[in-house]
Every structure is written in C-alpha cells, then in structure tokens.
Amino acid sequence: MTPERQTDGGVVTQGRSAEGVGPLRRWAEKAIYAPGGLYRALFIVAMLFFLLTTLFPFYFLFVLAVAPTGGAVQLLPALDAMNLGVFLEVYQKVDFLRYMLNSLTLALVTTAFVLVISSLAGYVFGRLRFPGRQPLMLIILAVSYFPPAAFLVPLYQLFTGNVIAGVNLYNTAGALILPFSALFMPLSIFILTTFYRQIPDGLEDAARIEGTTRLGALFRVIVPLSAPGVATAGVLTFIAVYNEFFFSQLMNNGQPENWAPIVGGLLQLQRAGQFEVTYEVMAAGSIMAVIPVAILVVVAQEKIVSGLTSGALKE
Amino acid sequence: MSSSTLPDGGVQTALRRPISRALAWLENRTEAQYAYILLTPAIVVLTVIAFWPLLSTLRLSLFADSYGLAAIGEFVGLQNVVEIVSGQRNALLPAPFLPEVWTVKGLFGAALTVTLLFTVVSVAVETVLGFLQALVLDQDFRGRRLVRVAIILPWAIPIVVQGMIFYLMFQPNVGFLVGTADNPALLNRLGLLSTTPLAVAQDATMIVIVGDIWKTTAFMALLILAGLQSIDRGLFDVARVAGATAWQRFRYITLPLVLPVVLIAMLFRTIDAMRIYGLIETVAGCSTVPSLSCLVVTTFNNRMLGSAAAIAFVTAAIIAVVVSVYIIRFARGTQ
C-alpha cells in the first residue's frame, strides 16, 4: 500500500461518518474524486484570495466614486446615500465624452490599419518562401524589445516639423496612430503568420484555379478562413492601443480637441488639484474609462487568452 | 452592376483598367518579388516610425546638450554615455542616474537602481503569484470562466486607470490604507508606510510595485497556464500508479516541464518592467520615483536632447544585456 492510497482511505471514512449531512457529504464525495481534501481546501482559499485581490481595487473605485461629497468613504455604502450624480460631474469638469471618443476612434483606426498591413506581412511570412525571410522577421520582432523612450526624441522632432519642414503631426491623430501601429504591429504580424500558415495549400490553389488573383486568394480565402486569428490580433491590438500611456501623453498637449485620449482627460482631472476636482470625480472618470475594455474582456476572453499565449510562447 | 448606375459603371470601368493592369503585373512577379512587394507597407511604416528613430536616437546621443537656441550642441562622441553611466552627470540631470551615496535613500533616488529594484521585485512576486493563479485556473470547477475574467480584468485596463486606483487608494484618509499623523491607519502604525507615502521615494516605489503586481500577474498566469495544459496528463497517471504523492508529482513532473514557459514569461515581463513609466507618472510622479524611462522624459522636457537620447540608449542596452542573460540561461536549461 502506498502512502497515497492511505490518504484516500482516510477521506473515504470521513465521508462515511458524515452520512446524512447533505452538503458535508457531497463535499466529502467530491474529495474522493479529487484526492486530498486538504488540496481542495487550499484551492478554494487561493481562489477566493485571488478574486478578492483582483476585484477589490475596482470595488474601492466604485465606493469612492459614490461617496457623498465631503463625507467619508463607506465600505458598504447605503443604496439611498449613493451620489450617482458624480458620473455627470466628470463631464462638467472636462470634456470627458470627447476624450473617450478620441480613445475609441484611435484604437479602432489603429487596429484596422495594423490588421491590413500585418495581414499582408503575415501572409508573406506564413506562406511564401523567399531569401531573407528569417532575418526580416527577426528584425521586425526586434522592434518590440525597445522601450518607447528610445523612439521619443526623434519622433517628437519629426512630428513637430523639425525633420521635414511642413510635416506637422503633433496634436493630430497621426502623431498617435503611427507610433501605436509601429509598436503593436510586430505582435499582430506574428499572430497572423502562425494562423495563415495553418491553412492548407490546396485551398489557396483551388481559388487560384477558379481564376482569383493572388491578392484575391489572400483576402477571399486565407483571411476569412483565419477569422479567429484576425479577431485575436484585432482584440489584442485594440486593448493595447486603448491602454497605451507613453505616446498618448507625450504626442499631444492633453487637450481633447487635439486628439488627446483618456490619458489626457484623467491626468487633467488629477492635476486640477483636489479643490477643483474631488477624488470622487477622479474615481468616477476612471470607472467610465474602464467600461469599454471590461466589456471586451467579458466578450472576448478566449481570444485574449489564445492570442497572448500563442503570441508569446511560439516566438 | 445594374443598368441604373450607368455613370458609376463608367467610372468603375475607367478605374478598373489600371487596377486590373496592376493586378496582372503583380500576378507575373516571382514569389520572392511578390513577397517583398507585400511586405513594403509594413517595412515602410516600421522604417519611418521605428528604425529611423532608433538610429536617430543613437546619433543624437553623440551630441552635447544645447543650452542655446539650437536643438543640439557639438559632437562629443561617447562622452554623454560615459558621463551618465559613471555618474559624473548626476548633478546636471533632473534625477541622478546612479546613486550618489549607497544608502536606502540614495538607492530609491537614482534611475538605474529604482528601475532594477522595481523589475526584480515585481517580476519575482508576479512569477510566484502567477504560478499560483495558473494552478487555480488549471482546475476544473464551476465558475472557472468567471474567475478567469476576474483575473484577466486588471491586465486589460488602461495604465492611467491603474495609476489612478493606486493614487487614490494611498491618499491619506481616502483609501483605507493611509491615515494622517493624528489618525494613523494600520499600515502607518506598523511603520510600513508614512502618512504621505506618495511623496516619499521608498514608499511610493513599493506602491508602484504593488500596482504593477496587481495588473500584470494575470499575464504571467495565462502563459504558465498554457504551459500547464500542454503537459501530457498520462504522466500524472503513471506517477500516481508508481505511488508518487501530489507534492512529488508537482516537483518532478509539473515543475520541470513548465519551467521553460516560466522563463519565457519572466523574460517578457522583465523587458516590459524595465520600461516602466506611465504607472509612476500617474501614481507618484517622475520626480519622486525616477525610473529610466522617466529620466528620459524629464531630461527631454528640460531640452537636454543629447542626454535624453543617451539615457534612452543606455536603457535599451541594459534591457539587451538582461535579455541575453535569460537567453543564455534558457539555452543551457533546454540542453
């Protein structure tokens, strides 16, 4: 008899002694199938701990936002004492709607731009044989190793018209979309390369025989068949752009009419000073900024998981 | 096309001819030529927005800072890099690169040491917690999807919101964690935090580390989970029949098989942690916690372009060194 068997036996007797007590018995029977009640208990404790630690900061943001002005923050606020007007107050302090729209527009346009360009590149790396394939791919992936700070000074000079006279992208959408694209394109190219590679050659050949051009075969056969891969790359790019901080802050002056995304809006709330803007308003603004990505996570969690793991682990 | 759109149809045929000619031309290229043509857009964007700036940063780092109207001063070669790395330029920079005195205060006040401290501590804790999260998510239980959403959620939120959360949570009397001098909270009484933690370099660095762990442990967890799920379950059955305890199964099957994935995840997190900027900027400000990327931005804001470029390049070089250490160790581990 092995030690393992003996522990199993112990659990069984425990289960029998608890006969008649419904939930306890069910727990014990489960413990037989997943041997080691101790491990089961540890697992539940760990799960609750992680749920608490990941979700508490969001809950804190909420109770802070709805705390009555000048009143103390309550861990369990009474329903009738909640100050929901704070969410409207955010819009009175800064043009928050405009910041949100800027963020969403920038993220959508960048995602579309990145998907088109990296579809072409992913097709080339995934399905074509040509000299220089491996080195080119490595050079493209190398971009993501550099910190954004290494691009800052020249890009700022370029966008303020100090490199090519007349090119003045600072304070426009272009000064954000271009750096975002360069920053996040390597990951998309990589994800799409792995997906496009898996489409059997026969399908592409069949389309070619039917009379489609090479480009037609790419966009009518390969891309639709790799829809999950395209969606994965799209979701990850969208989240990355929406969450970006470095260029979002430094490539505009923080004003909503100059395409500043929510980074600009929230920093403006924070730096107005707490006599102008209360902590409650800052918390309310933060909650609203989270809503779009929170929805995306709930809807597309499988895509996020598969994209992150395939993008990172196969490199 | 229907006959009602004749004018449009006319325009379309006029347009279609050059397009179809271009497509026919494309059709007749060799595979290699076709590959390079399709790669052109990606390469153009990356050249203008990534490769050119990198080379330009390298060039700028060879020029002195200008204190006049010109953007940069005279050519000085590697002097910028040498003076920054040796600490000689500390006094001229917004924050020192190397600690002037090797005390706790000095360590938390200098860009290089703050960044390394932040990276080592946050990546180490994230690895351990991420492993535990992965083990939890690897179980089969009801509500698994929901727990996974909860764990991913912090990873998916904007850095500025992450910063706001920890900025607000550590405001005296706002979060429950920090009180005032006459009404200290638990953490103050234990001597772990001062009553103005966001203005004290040491406390603020700890808060930034906690904030980073909260947000990015999920990334670690998902990667390690993928590693766990790729292990052949049959191995566990064999071990069980052979009488291995749960701990032995973990120690001799799970751990060695998942270790390469853990190392890759740590590599990615390290690269990312070394460029920390946004979280610091929102929680405490770059003057309190001067990380390397912070120092690039503050130097740039002071119009010291040569120094900013030199620090940016030193940062990239330090990351490259760390990456090669990982890769060498990884190569040794897989042999």
Backbone phi, then psi, for B2, in 5-degree steps?
Answer: -80, 160
Go through chain A and tell me how many residues it has. Answer: 315
Closest approach of chain A CAs to the CA of B51, in angstroms? 8
Q: Determine what percent of chain A is predicted with pLDDT higher than 70.
A: 87
pLDDT of residue A31: 56
Mark whether A168 and A275 lie in a shared domain. Answer: yes
Q: Under an 8 A CB cutoff, do A158 and B243 touch?
A: no
Q: Under an 8 A CB cutoff, do B246 and A182 touch?
A: no
Q: Nearest-CA neighbor of A174 among A229, A234, A251, A240?
A: A251
pLDDT of residue B249: 87
The count of CB pairs under 8 A between chains A and B is 275
Dihedral sign for Cα atoms in the order B191, B192, B196, B201? positive
pLDDT tens per residue across span A245-304:
999 999 999 999 999 999 999 999 998 876 778 899 999 999 999 999 999 999 998 888
Name chain A contacts of B136, Cβ cutoff 8 Å. 43, 46-47, 50
Mark whether A165 and A303 lie in a shared domain. Answer: yes
pLDDT of A243 above 90: yes
Closest partner CB to A117 (pick from B45, B165, B223): B45
pLDDT of residue A163: 86
Go through chain B and tell me how many residues it has. Answer: 335
pLDDT of residue B2: 44
Distance CA B259, CA A311 (A): 18
Task: Give the residue extent of every domain in chain B.
Answer: 3-42, 79-334
Q: Is B286 helix (H, G, I), strand (E, B) or coil?
A: coil
Classify domain B79-334 by CATH architecture.
Orthogonal Bundle (1.10)
Q: Under an 8 A CB cutoff, do A55 and B157 touch?
A: no
> Of A28-42, A141-155, B188-202, which range is least confident?
A28-42
> Of A14-18, A201-205, B241-245, B313-317, which range is least confident?
A14-18
Average pLDDT over residues A170-199: 93
- Asked if residue A82 belongs to a domain, the reply is no
pLDDT of residue A70: 66
Mutate to test the interface with A, among B138, B168, B280 (most CBs of A within 10 A): B168
pLDDT of A14 above 50: no
pLDDT of residue B103: 84
pLDDT of residue A71: 66
Q: Under an 8 A CB cutoff, do B308 and A153 touch?
A: yes
Element (H, E) at B186: helix B186-189
Q: Which residue has the higher pLDDT, B35 or A69?
A: B35
Name chain B contacts of A148, Cβ cutoff 8 Å. 275, 277, 293
- Asked if residue A279 belongs to a domain, the reply is yes
Beta strands in B242-283 (DSSP E): none
- Asked if residue A52 belongs to a domain, the reply is no
pLDDT of A5 above 50: no
Mark whether A18 and A124 lie in a shared domain. Answer: no
Mark whether A132 and A209 lie in a shared domain. Answer: yes
- Asked if residue A83 belongs to a domain, the reply is no
Q: Which residue of B has its CA nearest to A8?
A: B245
Distance CA A74, CA A65 (A): 11
| pTM: predicted TM-score of the whole model, two decimal places | 0.88
Q: Determine what percent of chain A is predicted with pLDDT higher than 90.
A: 57
Q: Under an 8 A CB cutoff, do B316 and A58 touch?
A: no
Closest approach of chain B CAs to the CA of A17, in angstroms? 25
Q: Which residue has the higher pLDDT, B10 or A61?
A: A61
Mutate to test the interface with B, among A64, A99, A146 (most CBs of B within 10 A): A146
Mark whether A102 and A27 lie in a shared domain. Answer: no
Q: Under an 8 A CB cutoff, do A279 and B168 touch?
A: yes
Q: What is the 3-state secondary structure (H, E, C) of chain B?
A: CCHHHHHHHHHHHHHHHHHHHHHHHHHCCCHHHHHHHHHHHHHHHHHHHHHHHHHHHHHHCCEEECCCCCCEEEECCCHHHHHHHCCCCHHHCCCCCCCCCCCHHHHHHCHHHHHHHHHHHHHHHHHHHHHHHHHHHHCCCCCHHHHHHHHHHHHHCCHHHHHHHHHHHCCCCCCCCCCECCECCHHHHCCCCCCCHHHCHHHHHHHHHHHHHHHHHHHHHHHHHHHHHCCCCHHHHHHHHCCCCHHHHHHHHHHHHHHHHHHHHHHHHHHHHCCCCHHHHHHCCCCCCCCHHHHHHHHHHCCCHHHHHHHHHHHHHHHHHHHHHHHHHHHHHHC
pLDDT tens per residue across span A73-123:
777 777 777 888 889 888 988 999 999 999 999 999 999 999 999 999 999
Mutate to test the interface with A, among B153, B230, B300 (most CBs of A within 10 A): B153
Q: Please, which contacts does A273-276 make with residues 24 or more away whose CB atoms are closer than 8 Å? A: A276/A93
Q: What is the ipTM of this complex?
A: 0.89
State the burial class of residue B302 (Cβ atoms within 10 Å of its Cβ: 0-12, 13-18, 19+).
Answer: middle
Distance CA A228, CA A304 (A): 11
Domains held by chain A: number: 2
Distance CA B171, CA B284 (A): 11
> Of A14-18, A161-165, B109-113, which range is least confident?
A14-18
- Asked if residue A57 belongs to a domain, the reply is no
Mark whether A94 and A185 lie in a shared domain. Answer: yes
Q: Is B72 helix (H, G, I), strand (E, B) or coil?
A: strand
**CATH number of the domain that residue A214 is part of:** 1.10.3720.10
Q: Is A160 helix (H, G, I), strand (E, B) or coil?
A: strand
Mark whether A119 and A248 lie in a shared domain. Answer: yes
Consecutive 10-residue runs of chain B (335 residues): their mean pLDDT?
48 73 85 92 95 95 85 88 90 89 86 95 96 91 88 95 94 77 73 82 94 95 91 88 86 90 91 95 93 95 93 94 86 63
Q: Under an 8 A CB cutoff, do A130 and B139 touch?
A: no
Element (H, E) at B75: strand B72-75
> Of A141-155, A205-219, B117-131, B206-220, which range is least confident?
A205-219
Instruction: Work out whether strand B63-65 and strand B72-75 pair parallel, antiparallel, or are unpaired.
Output: antiparallel
A73: left (phi over 0), alpha (psi -120 to 50) or beta: beta
Q: Under an 8 A CB cutoff, do B296 and A149 touch?
A: yes
pLDDT of residue A4: 41
Q: Which residue of B has its CA nearest to A245?
A: B278
Q: At A31, which amino acid appears?
A: A
Name chain A contacts of B165, Cβ cutoff 8 Å. 57-58, 60-61, 286
Mark whether A14 and A159 lie in a shared domain. Answer: no
DSSP state string for A250-293: HTS-S-GGGT--HHHHHHHHHHT-TTTS-HHHHHHHHHHHHHHH
Output the CA–CA distances (angstroms, integers) from residue A263 to A82, A173, A203, A234, in the order listed. 27, 14, 45, 21
Mutate to test the interface with B, among A40, A153, A167, A296 (most CBs of B within 10 A): A153
- Asked if residue A16 belongs to a domain, the reply is yes
> Domain containing A168: what range?
90-313
Closest partner CB to B149 (pick from A270, A297, A309): A297
